[in-house]
Amino acid sequence: MIEIAEEQMFNNIVIMVPTHKDNSSFQIYYWDESDREKCKPTKSYPKFFNCRFGNITAFDIHEENVTSMPCVLKVKAIAWPPFVIFPRHLQKTLQNKPVDKILLNGIEIELMNVISKYLRIKVEYYVSYKEDWGTSYFNGSSTNTMNDLMTKKVDIAIGSFSVSNPRVALFRMSQSYAEEHMLICVPNRISIGLSVNILPATRKARIFFSLLLIFELFYVAFFVSLVASFLSSPKKAQDIKTLFDIFSRGMGIYSSPDNLRYFDRKERLWFEKQILKNWVDCHNVTRCLEDVYANHEKAICMDENYKTTYYITVKSGRINFTLSETEINIESDWNDYEEDSSDARRN
């Protein structure tokens, strides 16, 4: 160990060894390069030393216990259910201060809690309700949360981040990112497939059917069963099934401006040209989804990573229908970045 320190040209070293009873209590060992003397077989040497060519280089041990807080991991969490869930009524209390982890929930929060508990690392969560994932550029510049990672204001960022070409330097992956899809969703009001109650819901209809049952039980029973069977059978036909249906209606397609890079090539396919023709920039996914709910002439195109049950389904049970097609595939191989950007990567 001392030889390695000398090779690395470390003149002063402090080793903090945690005690077996308390991981927050450390024993301090101080390294002093000038502490050299002749090796003697009768001398009681410290625990850490090196005897080379008759000279001893040793640690000057100070057996004092120092209690210190464990390392603190700063985590930027973007509220994006089900990955990061934070009570909306506490949104106004966010002022760039750590948030009590008891108030947080979600898939990535639970994963962080498990890892921090296993490694015994204290985690500070900084929550953002803004959709400020940020963007990284090949020239090294970045914005929002990506800039927080680059400037080391935070150590980790969570909240359903998707990997793009410029962002790959900030992501550590066990294998190359193989494939991503762009999904297109349309509002539910132009879709068919909603079931109805088996029996009539209004009082007048019930009275009417009751009179018919009394007047002619057998005939009416047959008629009611026929009507109930017809009404309760949901129609599986979907008004919009393909991209062509969207194009023929002239529907605007919301999507993030960052996604334009997937269509930036000289020879575009026919449907890619049509998407760009109907393109509408979306700077806030939540607002765009709400507009799709309310507007029959809008659809939305988003990364598969950003599609969640929470945002596709809102209160009152409105559901967006997502096309089964995944013609817009994003295939990238970033193995070339593995060696050059190892120092710049952060989780």
- Cα torsion through 306, 312, 313, 315, rounded to 10: 90
Cβ neighbors of 322 (< 8 A, separation 6 or more) are: 183, 184, 185, 307, 312
Choose the most confident range, by mean pLDDT, from 62-71, 112-121, 148-157, 166-175: 148-157
- pLDDT band per the 50, 70, 90 thresholds, residue 192: very low
269-306 residue pLDDT tens = 777 888 888 899 988 777 887 788 777 788 888 776 55
> Can you identify the CATH homologous superfamily of domain 76-177+334-340?
Periplasmic binding protein-like II (3.40.190.10)
Domain with CATH 3.40.190.10 in the chain: 76-177+334-340, 181-192+239-331
Question: Are residues 79 and 85 in contact, defined by beta-carbon separation less than 8 angstroms?
Answer: yes
Taking CA atoms, 168 is separated from 264, 328, 334, in Å, by 19, 20, 7
Distance of CA 71 to the CA centre of its chain: 24
The pLDDT of 87-102, averaged and rounded, is 74
Whether the per-residue pLDDT at 313 is higher than 70: the answer is no
| Domain 181-192+239-331 = CATH 3.40.190.10 | yes
Question: Are residues 84 and 159 in contact, defined by beta-carbon separation less than 8 angstroms?
Answer: yes
Whether the per-residue pLDDT at 152 is higher than 60: the answer is yes
Whether the per-residue pLDDT at 62 is higher than 70: the answer is no
pLDDT of residue 38: 47
The pLDDT of 99-121, averaged and rounded, is 84
77 — phi, psi (to 5°)?
Answer: -115, 120
pLDDT of residue 97: 79
Name which residue leads in pLDDT, 63 or 72. Answer: 72
pLDDT of residue 322: 72
- pLDDT band per the 50, 70, 90 thresholds, residue 327: low
64-82 residue pLDDT tens = 555 555 578 899 998 887 7
